[in-house]
Amino acid sequence: MRKIGFPLVMAAMVATTACSTGDNKPSASTTPASADQTNQQPVTISIVAKDLPVDDPNSQKFIKGIEEGMKAEGKNVKLQIVPVQSGTYSEKLGLLLQSGNIPDLIYFQGGDYNFAITQQILEDLTPYIEKSTHVKASMTEFNKERLKNYPYLVWLAPISSKIPVVRQDLFNKAPSGKTLLSDPTIDNYYTFFKELKEKSGAKFAYTTAGDIDELDVVFGQAFGLTSTWIKGADGKYVYSKTTLAEKEKLEFYAKLYKEGLLDPEYLTKKFDTKEKAFYDGQAGVIAGTQGKVIDIYNTKSVGQNGPGANILPLPPAKGKAQGYTPVDVSKESRGFAIAKTSKNKEMAFAVLEFLASPKGQMLDKLGVEGEEYQIVNGKIKLTDKFAAWYPHFVENTVNFKPDKEFDPSTPYLSEPALKSLEMFSSMSTKDNAFIMPAELAAKWDAASAVYKEFAADMVTGKKSGADFDKFVQAWNAAGGKDITDYANKTLK
Amino acid sequence: MNANSRLRRMWADKVLYVMLMPAAAFFAIFHVWPILGMRLAFYEYRILGDHVYVGFKYFKELFGTPIFSQVLANTLIISAMKMFLIFPLPILFALMLNEFVNGKFRKAVQIISYLPHFLSWVVIAGIWFEFLSKSNGIVNDVIRLFGFPAHDFLTDKAAIRWVLVASEAWRNIGWDSIIFLAAILGINKSLYEAAYVDGANRWQIVTRIILPHLYVPMVTVFILNVGFIMNAGLDQVLNFTNASVNSKVDIIDTYVYRVGLINGQYSFATAANLFKSVIGVILVLSTHFLSKKLTSKGAW
């Protein structure tokens, strides 16, 4: 009996693989809405989103606000939150969708490509946005470009790009700070970093969370790395990280590391420890996402270190070019999608349209009147409760025009946050990165790993510029050559 | 034994079978039934419409991936290091605990040694990062005390696997020693008394009485560990890795997590898991039969 147990199990497993193909039909989650919405039962729209827990009072308040707001506009809708298992959102969402449970409105935070292209369960949003008023008005040029290239996600938030910031009190201790702001050359940045370390009490000038991406925000373009793919003299595209510009950049970073200007433990830093080092004054400069994140940094820094410790956004370094990290416009990296299986696609989009409307943006951004904000002397005054409220759908301020001013004591965004938005929009450029096809995903992963390891080794002094050619060979061997061939076919 | 007498014996032990039922149900639902889902490795999964049978496509993709040989080697090396280096430690720890005369002290040591087992790898990684920090970690403080330069263990390709082994040992020695300590405590006291009467010292008691009683649990645990040789520790590696050392610790699980799960390539991920499972089953069976042949003791 014992001897045949295992073969039996294995045989059962092999047998199942030869069975007929499973037909996995998703169950309809909703019933179609009739054209006439008045005096009808509400249309149920199921929605899955990150940070929208079913039992959270703020979520419930928010959902109720959307339903009431839409009802006032003649759209009787009932929003039903679909819970997601705790853990990495993109992974758990993937498992939810793969099981055939497909909500009408889906928020993705990566991992959407498989569902849009391979599984083809996401709706092309182009016609909906064409017909829209508020969603269209809330899109930046980058959003429009991304939608053109990948029409399955819409994300009405500032481009998730980072900009460097320094604490004002530390900045004031470095005499070269003013020179840096007026003329941010690579050399002036280097001088400023040295002074930060020597005079402000910071242990190191700059820290990042595990890689050099947040350092590239400042220096990438200055070294000539103006896009992911750079056209060579022969007219062919090469991967920017295999060029001499990259080598020069890494040599500069190695100098920063060697002199203790770059955090000696940046490789093992996580986001929380990076931010803690900044608030504690160990790190002079960090990079944060423009807008709301800079706002949070400012609040926390002032809260911990007093009013003199407000945040000052810094410009990108000036060299062969000047600009923050070029913006990838191949697709939105996150955002909302509508399921092809939805019986109420129009109504699902109407939810997004409402949230992008003036009324919807007030609710999404500010919360409920009388709770998160009050109208005092005809002005919007944010309450203490506002600290726990944040926009889920429309973080953009592109089309946010409340009919009342904000009380000066409680602005919607702090001055540093507004400045970061302005600086980014005036000093950002489009990238030419493209969507990596599924068949190249493994090669891209392998080639990226080769680059990341070499960059880390070169910055930390384990390797030098003399090893750069070997790295390029290794990168090509790991799949980079095939990716470069594909790039030259894809890029115009 | 014929079928009738077997049934009679089962009926006599019915209470034990009832006690076994929850565990049997657990394994049936969560471990045996999912085996049927492994067929996904041979299909292109479709949420809408029929799945498409693709045979060994995903296995070819897995074996043909540029860094498959590297992640396979890392998996085997890290697992083997853990298996052979950590395996004796819980046994030694159990023997050491058994030597404590003071029962309260022994209990306190036991409880403290179990605690790390209940910490998540996120917390453990945080603790170890503090331990090994180049600038203010206690390990480097000691190194500097002896006049040597500080060393960054966490970004050192030669050291990172040892860090994984050490942190795994720190987490599990106490917990894994329970089974051996239970076996030691189950030894008939009259054997010790007889040995003392014969003039045996503590060392002889350990080598002639205690260790022979530990052979069966040792062999069983070792064989079961062999089955997990393809699981080098996803959570641990994810928390300890960084760009500088990834090529030394990137294992099949982390690779599948990155390329398979994050990108929604579930068939690919299933193929990788099926490959791991088959290797595990083969190793367990071959180790069991080899052990039976050499020592007449096996996992069953």
Supply the pTM of this predicted model: 0.84
pLDDT band at A21 (very low <50, low <70, confident <90, very high): very low
For the stretch A316-335, pLDDT in tens is 999 999 999 999 999 998 99
Q: Which residues pair with A106 in a beta bridge?
A: A48, A337
A/B interface, count of CB pairs below 8 Å: 133
Predicted pLDDT of residue A39: 57
For the stretch A167-177, pLDDT in tens is 999 999 999 99
Q: Are A352 and A50 in contact (CB under 8 A)?
A: no
- Of the candidates A178, A204, A214, A216, the residue with the CA atom closest to the CA atom of residue A256: A204
Distance in angstroms (rounded) separating the CA atoms of residues B110 and A487: 59
Predicted pLDDT of residue A490: 92
Amino acid at site A37:
Q
For A288, half-sphere exposure in the C-beta direction (CA atoms, 13 angstrom radius) is 27
Q: Do A340 and B48 touch (CB under 8 A)?
A: yes
Q: Which residue among B243, B255, B266 places its CB closest to the CB of A267?
A: B243
For A216, list phi and psi in degrees, rounded to 5.
-60, -30
In the predicted structure, residue A281 carries a pLDDT above the cut 50: yes
- Note down pLDDT in tens along chain B; length 300 residues: 678 888 999 899 999 999 999 999 999 999 888 888 899 999 988 888 888 999 999 999 888 888 889 999 999 999 999 999 999 999 999 999 998 877 888 889 989 999 999 999 999 999 999 999 988 899 999 999 999 999 999 999 999 999 999 999 999 999 999 999 999 999 999 999 999 999 999 999 999 999 999 988 998 888 888 888 888 889 999 999 999 999 999 999 999 888 877 777 888 889 998 998 898 889 888 888 888 887 777 767
Distance in angstroms (rounded) separating the CA atoms of residues B181 and B64: 46
Exposure string over B269-284, b if 16+ CB within 10 A, otherwise e: bbbbbbbbbebbeebb
Distance in angstroms (rounded) separating the CA atoms of residues B30 and B40: 17
C-alpha distance from residue A159 to each of A106, A143, A328, A425, B277 (Å): 20, 8, 9, 9, 43
Q: Where are the alpha helices (DSSP H) in A403-467?
A: 415-426, 441-459
For A378, list phi and psi in degrees, rounded to 5.
75, 10
Asked if the C-beta of B258 comes within 8 angstroms of chain A's C-beta atoms, the answer is yes
Q: Which of residues 108-167 of B touch A (CB under 8 A)?
A: 129, 133-135, 152, 154-155
Residue of A nearest to B36 (CA): A13
Asked if the C-beta of B65 comes within 8 angstroms of chain A's C-beta atoms, the answer is yes
Q: Are A410 and A381 in contact (CB under 8 A)?
A: yes
- Of the candidates A360, A371, A362, A364, the residue with the CA atom closest to the CA atom of residue A406: A362
Tokens linked to B77: 């090396």
Tokens linked to B286: 């071959």
For the stretch A402-448, pLDDT in tens is 988 999 999 988 889 989 988 988 998 899 999 998 888 889 999 99
pLDDT band at A8 (very low <50, low <70, confident <90, very high): very low
- Of the candidates A388, A165, A411, the residue with the CA atom closest to the CA atom of residue A286: A165
Q: What is the average pLDDT across A364-377?
A: 92
Predicted pLDDT of residue B45: 83
Q: Are B79 and B227 in contact (CB under 8 A)?
A: no
Chain B residues whose CB is inside 8 A of the A9 CB are: 32, 35
- Of the candidates A412, A421, A422, A419, the residue with the CA atom closest to the CA atom of residue A381: A412
Listed in sequence order, the residues at least 6 apart from B76 whose beta carbon sits closer than 8 Å to its beta carbon are: B229, B230
Closest CA–CA distance from residue B263 to any residue of chain A (Å): 5
Optimal mutation site among B124, B261, B263, B277, interface A, most CBs of chain A within 10 A: B263
Optimal mutation site among A3, A268, A269, A444, interface B, most CBs of chain B within 10 A: A268
Predicted pLDDT of residue B1: 60
Q: Do A267 and B244 touch (CB under 8 A)?
A: yes
Q: What is the average pLDDT across A468-480?
A: 96
pLDDT band at A29 (very low <50, low <70, confident <90, very high): very low
Tokens linked to A248: 């020069």
Q: Assign residue A31 a region: left if phi > 0, alpha if psi is -120 to 50, beta otherwise?
A: beta
Q: What is the DSSP letter of B201?
A: -
